[in-house]
């Protein structure tokens, strides 16, 4: 975004000291939110939320201190938006093509702010993503994506995809790839995933079943839980809090922690970064991909709250 566009955004969408725009040294534009309810930051590249901190509480999102903040590069942490495929592109999404960047093009594309408001301590920011030269080159031309971030004492994120074609079905995968901050991944437990099948990506994508009531981490975990609609709670004894991720319009919950060996291969993560993060992702992926009829829309919603650990 050039300076003229930044000035226009400031004039149209700023809300006093509560919502303002700033430009980084690398040229990225971010929205800075400061209210009595929370602090937050959101980059227009990727519509990427990098900070959400309820008032008088610890930050809820994990953000790597080695993240790239450069045009065209994904940020490590926060809430990346994954669309229109999850992970490496497969032939399942739009025919036989398998080209394109990992996790699709949305997380590194420039989004457009279309609306902001401030009501009942909640800042709302709506952004849109339209077809571009890049998306068209990858076979995605007739779609519209709208993202609504409601920032208050709770975090409410809504991703709406519309099929603008009059004839063709739109097949896509999507995720709100939420990195959550924890005291130590080895000491937290996740509840709400029991009695669910998952794909174990660390074991050749084998389909497995979780029967244990709680998930604990003792090594790399990379699991899309299938046909899963329930909320997930991260219980963190050291921080004496519980982070609850609830959702609507989502049939997949992805849980990821890279552990030590994989983290050493990530240039945008400190060697011990894995100890302070757990991803609980609201998604529709694998066999839960969305097939959207012409003229129809689909909304996926994630609500994140923080509670004292009883």
**Mean pLDDT for back-to-back runs of 10 residues, the chain (310 residues):** 61 93 94 98 98 95 96 96 94 78 96 96 98 95 98 98 97 98 98 98 97 98 98 97 98 98 96 98 97 98 95
Instruction: Report the pLDDT value the prediction gives residue 76, as an integer from 0 to 100.
Output: 97
Instruction: Report the pLDDT value the prediction gives residue 97, as an integer from 0 to 100.
Output: 84
Q: What is the pLDDT of residues 237-290, one digit of tens each?
A: 999 999 999 999 999 999 999 999 999 999 999 999 999 999 999 999 999 999
Q: How many Å separate Cα 210 from the centre of its chain?
A: 24
Give backbone dihedrals phi and psi of 213, rounded to 5 degrees, phi first: -65, -35
Instruction: Report the pLDDT value the prediction gives residue 226, as an integer from 0 to 100.
Output: 98
| Neighbour tally for 244: CB within 10 Å | 17
Rounded distance between C-alpha atoms, residue 274 and residue 151, angstroms: 26
Rounded distance between C-alpha atoms, residue 91 and residue 96, angstroms: 4
Sequence-separated (6 or more) residues with CB below 8 Å from residue 242: 233, 234, 235, 236, 306, 307, 308, 309, 310
Q: Tokens standing for 7?
A: 């000035």
Instruction: Report the pLDDT value the prediction gives residue 2, as an integer from 0 to 100.
Output: 54
Which residue's structure tokens are 């609306």? 115
Q: What is the pLDDT of residues 126-148, one digit of tens each?
A: 999 999 999 999 999 999 999 99
């Amino acid at each position: 975004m050039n300076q003229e566009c930044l000035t226009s955004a400031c004039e149209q969408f700023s809300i006093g000291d509560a919502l303002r725009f700033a430009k980084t040294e690398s040229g990225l534009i971010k929205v800075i939110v400061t209210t009595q309810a929370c602090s937050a930051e959101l980059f227009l590249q990727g519509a990427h939320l990098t900070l959400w901190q309820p008032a008088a509480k610890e930050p809820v999102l994990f953000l790597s201190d080695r993240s790239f903040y450069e045009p065209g590069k994904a940020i490590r942490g926060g809430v990346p938006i994954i669309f229109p495929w999850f992970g490496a592109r497969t032939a399942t999404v739009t025919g036989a093509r398998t080209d394109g960047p990992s996790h699709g093009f949305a997380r590194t594309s420039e989004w457009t702010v279309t609306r902001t408001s401030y009501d009942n301590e909640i800042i709302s920011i709506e952004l849109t993503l339209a077809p571009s030269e890049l998306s068209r080159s990858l076979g995605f031309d007739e779609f519209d994506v709208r993202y609504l971030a409601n920032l208050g004492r709770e975090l409410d994120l809504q991703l709406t995809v519309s099929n603008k074609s009059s004839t063709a079905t739109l097949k896509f995968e999507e995720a709100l790839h939420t990195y959550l901050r924890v005291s130590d991944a080895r000491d937290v437990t996740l509840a709400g995933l029991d009695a669910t099948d998952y794909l174990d990506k660390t074991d050749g994508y084998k389909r497995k079943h979780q029967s244990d009531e709680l998930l604990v981490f003792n090594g790399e975990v990379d699991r899309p839980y299938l046909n899963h609609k329930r909320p997930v709670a991260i219980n963190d004894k050291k921080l004496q809090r519980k982070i609850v991720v609830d959702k609507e319009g989502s049939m997949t919950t992805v849980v990821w922690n890279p552990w030590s060996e994989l983290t050493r291969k990530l240039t945008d993560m400190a060697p011990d970064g894995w100890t302070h993060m757990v991803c609980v992702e609201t998604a529709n992926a694998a066999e839960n991909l969305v097939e959207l009829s012409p003229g129809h829309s689909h909304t996926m919603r994630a609500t994140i709250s923080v509670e004292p650990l009883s």
